[in-house]
A and B are shown apart, each in its own frame.
Chain A
């Protein structure tokens, strides 16, 4: 109960003012963003701000159902960060490396989808270099295969990597562009699915103006 109150306070007093006033969003195709689960949002990843921006796209009543999928080795690295990530942000931890003997690494994600949650997945698996897109990992395709009825929404984000890139301590306000895509369905082939998803996100990038950043 207390953690839930803290979670809502954190959203209302920190995340939403940060995202809506200090950052500021330009959302293209807002109407494409799903209003209920189960669904998977697959976005490019540049900054810790990405998850907060994506959570802010949903109304507060969906707060408990919008779950960022995040690297267990990073977000569970000590007790305090683990408590914060699991209870205040509401992440679903996944291992970045695993052995088959350890069981199903995506069990948490599957469970969340089955109970109607909206998963936020960054297929790049890491923030990487700011405002560039790395190779996609296969996890999202595995999930799509397991849950063929769950729509996967490609989504392009631009600006978070300028505002708070990896390895930088100071936050600098920049507008963030969000471009939502049409939902994709499982087509039968993991590699093809990943390629298609990447292509969709690259196409969405064309909708926003991205001034030089060099």
Chain B
């Protein structure tokens, strides 16, 4: 599919070089890079896929901490927050689910404000504590759920294993992003959340949702043990939560007055722009699978 769209884009750029498609080719090249890296990470098996998703967490967290207001005194707090990444992925490596799920929401949540209080700077304390934790929750805890999917056992989740579930999650989430965009571009009329994201429409959202449910129904038999009912439910969950992840990150960017979170991925913006919907879909899809099989 990627090959076809790259060729189409090339042909189109060649036929009509004046049309504003400048964004499309770099965007597609970035897609090639992403797809290659994900495939390599999944084929290499443990613990290499952990390194890959750990790197994604790191890049996203770095973008987040670079775009929000921070306090000079909190440099060491941010340093501690970065240290949470290898620790969080270590819990996945040793398959310690109970600690994986509470380490950031409870222990980092308690630890960082303690360290901040000991430093004695109270100006902007609540804002600093909250934004630091927000970055950890989204970029580390939520993203690390993708990696935890990867270590689910073959005996529980079926012959394609956890890697199959990761593949399904990524295909459906990114497919949903693209489908919502395409449906919105072609049919979009009624704005859904004009204050947050003026380009999002009901037509885009519903068309994307329907496409995602269809994709889930078709792909799930190859990548998971889902029954057709479960596949449809997974499609609905990812379609809706992917949309929400997208608009939540849009709201943050609007609050900060920026358009993209970075320039790491040419044509896409930053890493955070690409994984915004995964922040919502990954934990929700994970807990759906976990509930079904464990």
Contact = CB atoms under 8 A, between A and B. Distances in A.
Interface of A: 24, 26-27, 130, 159, 162, 165, 168, 170, 172-175, 209, 211-214
Contact of B59 (A24, A162, A168): A24
Given A209-B258, A214-B71, A159 B79 contact: no
A24 B262 contact: yes
Contacts of A212: 69-70
A89 B91 CA distance: 40
A27 B264 CA distance: 10
Nearest to B75: A172
B69 A213 contact: yes
Given A24-B262, A24-B264, A209-B258, A175 B66 contact: yes
Interface size class of B (residues with CB under 8 A): 20 to 34
11 contacts: A172-B78, A173-B65, A173-B82, A174-B62, A175-B62, A209-B67, A209-B257, A211-B68, A212-B69, A213-B70, A213-B71
Contact of B256 (A165, A170, A211, A213): A211
A197 B65 CA distance: 31
Interface of B is mostly: helix
A24 B76 contact: no
A130 B63 CA distance: 20
Nearest to A168: B75
Contacts of A168: 75
A162 B74 CA distance: 10
A170 B75 contact: yes
A211 B67 contact: yes
B135 to A, nearest CB: 12
Given A170-B76, A172-B76, A175-B66, 13 more contacts: A24-B62, A24-B63, A26-B263, A130-B72, A168-B75, A172-B82, A173-B58, A174-B66, A175-B63, A209-B67, A211-B70, A211-B256, A212-B69
A165 B75 CA distance: 10
